[in-house]
């Protein structure tokens, strides 16, 4: 199911359709960030996991928001240090965020103040289990290695994020110091 069909309650405004990619410069950090992800594989993994664990019981109600949009919002929330409310608000007004979410064109309706509620994002996050997160990390790492962004020799995943400048000991930090010591 395409993103436009799922977001038609927001994208069906009056006036000309605006092409999102025309408003986001090619060298914009969020555009560069979004272009590094294997979105198709990641959303397929999410949809398969959700279909297996949460079978759909009814066809009634509004169309659901695309898993591509929800995954991008969840990742952007951490990338931009935003709350659920802030990132959902930025999706309404920021073309770079729209681009990162895979929205190709919009036709704004001023009466619609939002189309992704923070509660929907919280529900999506709650449905992500450890197995799915591990699969998404593996897909992302494989895509980064395939594109030559990282070398498998230097790939270290630190599962305990810490603030920049923190003195906390991590496996990645210990490994780095060990490699540095042996190279002397």
**For residue range 81-112, what is the model confidence (pLDDT) as tens digits?**
989 899 988 888 889 999 999 988 877 666 55
**Predicted pLDDT of residue 113:** 53
Work out the pLDDT band at 116, boundaries 50, 70, 90. Answer: confident
Number of C-beta neighbours around residue 101 at 10 A: 26
The pairing of strands 105-106 and 18-19 is: antiparallel
Distance CA 28, CA 96 (A): 8
- Mean of pLDDT values over 112-130: 80
Q: Please state the domain count of the chain.
A: 1
- Mean of pLDDT values over 29-44: 92
- CA dist 134 → 36, 116, 139 (Å): 18, 26, 9
**Predicted pLDDT of residue 20:** 87
pTM above 0.85? no
pLDDT above 90 for 12: no
In a domain, 182, yes or no: no
Q: How many residues are present in the chain?
A: 184
**Predicted pLDDT of residue 54:** 84
Work out the pLDDT band at 63, boundaries 50, 70, 90. Answer: confident
**Predicted pLDDT of residue 181:** 63
Work out the pLDDT band at 25, boundaries 50, 70, 90. Answer: very high
Range of the domain at 133: 3-150
In a domain, 162, yes or no: no
Structure tokens given for 16: 């000309």
In a domain, 166, yes or no: no
- Mean of pLDDT values over 56-79: 84
Instruction: Say which residue, 142 or 150, is predicted with more confidence.
Output: 142
Classified as helix, coil or strand, 122 is helix
When the pLDDT of each residue in the chain is averaged and rounded to a whole number, the result is 78
């Amino acid at each position: 199911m395409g993103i436009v069909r799922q977001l038609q309650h927001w994208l069906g405004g009056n006036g000309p359709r605006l092409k999102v990619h025309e408003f986001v410069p090619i060298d914009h950090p969020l555009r560069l960030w979004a272009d590094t992800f294997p979105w198709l594989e990641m959303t397929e993994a999410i949809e398969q996991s959700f279909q297996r664990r949460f079978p759909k019981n009814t066809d009634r109600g509004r169309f659901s928001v695309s898993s591509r949009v929800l995954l991008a919002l969840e990742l952007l929330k951490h990338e931009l240090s935003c709350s659920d409310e802030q990132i959902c608000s930025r999706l309404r007004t920021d073309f770079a965020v729209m681009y990162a979410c895979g929205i190709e064109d919009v036709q704004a309706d001023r009466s619609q103040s939002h189309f992704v509620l923070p509660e929907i994002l919280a529900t999506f996050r709650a449905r992500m289990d450890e197995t799915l997160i591990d699969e998404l990390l593996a897909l992302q790492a494989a895509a980064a290695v395939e594109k030559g962004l990282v070398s498998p020799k230097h790939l270290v995943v630190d599962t305990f994020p810490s603030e920049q400048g923190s003195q906390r000991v991590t496996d990645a930090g210990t490994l780095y110091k060990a490699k540095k010591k042996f190279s002397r």
